[in-house]
Structure 1
């Protein structure tokens, strides 16, 4: 069963767009997110811009060959 807000991830660009959209929805800038997850701002920027780092492109090729869709389920905003 697929959730209505599921996002099929077929490339690094789509994943980057989802990450950027979610970060902005949560009101975080790159610096804050970098601090929260212990990664560099440069890495996060490259990720959001769809750079195929860390072998992501190769992983996606394997998933495609196997007929597997990678799907992300963004966490729903919780009321305050």
Structure 2
């Protein structure tokens, strides 16, 4: 089953997608104490990990954390 992830945040125009990808199955979830909301949506052929941050700075922090996981800086 494929996995995908998206990062959303709110600005003056509403809710915006900062990042998204359709095939990052090896990226683990953020730690449970991360300052963002998380929901996992399961479809027949894919799981979508959705992160929501209140502003651009928090959304960028989510993206940086995910990149650090991918690069092996953090271990799950």
> TM-score scaled to structure 2, two decimals?
0.28
Q: Which has the higher contact order (CA 8 A, sep 6+)?
A: 1
Structure with the bigger percentage of helix: 1
Q: Which has the larger radius of gyration?
A: 1
Query: Normalized per residue, which structure has more strand?
Result: 2
State TM-score, norm by structure 1. 0.27
